[in-house]
Amino acid sequence: EMEEGCLSIPQINEKVTRKEWVRVRYQDMDGKECELETDGLLAVCIQHELDHLNGRLFIDHISPLKRERALKKYDKLQKRG
């Protein structure tokens, strides 16, 4: 479990449970197929960014109650400017 935040929901941070490691296949800038296996912060970042590609935010991984509180806090911050 690691605390995450996102520029999509500024100033909101919540603990999110994710896989400890990931293996991803991708193409580099030259179109060469590559594979990366990693853990720790990089694994969390990869999962976070893949979520964006799939239309999800980190708050989609927390409980409904925590999500509701986070969104209320975000709304208050937005109203303050």
Q: Is the pTM of this model over 0.95?
A: no
Confidence band of 81 (pLDDT split at 50, 70, 90): confident
User: How many domains are there within the chain?
Assistant: 1
CB atoms within 10 A of CB 12: 18
Q: Which domain holds residue 53?
A: 2-80
- Active-site residues, by number, are 49
pLDDT 10s digits, 27-78: 999 999 999 999 999 999 999 999 999 999 999 999 999 999 999 999 999 9
What pLDDT is attached to residue 50?
A: 98
CATH number at residue 12: 3.90.45.10
pLDDT 10s digits, 6-35: 999 999 999 999 999 999 999 999 999 999
Q: Cβ distance 34 to 23 under 8 Å?
A: no
- Please list, residue by residue across 41-78, b when 16 or more beta carbons sit within 10 angstroms of its beta carbon and e when fewer do: eebbebbbeebeeeeebbbebbeeeebeebeeeeeeee
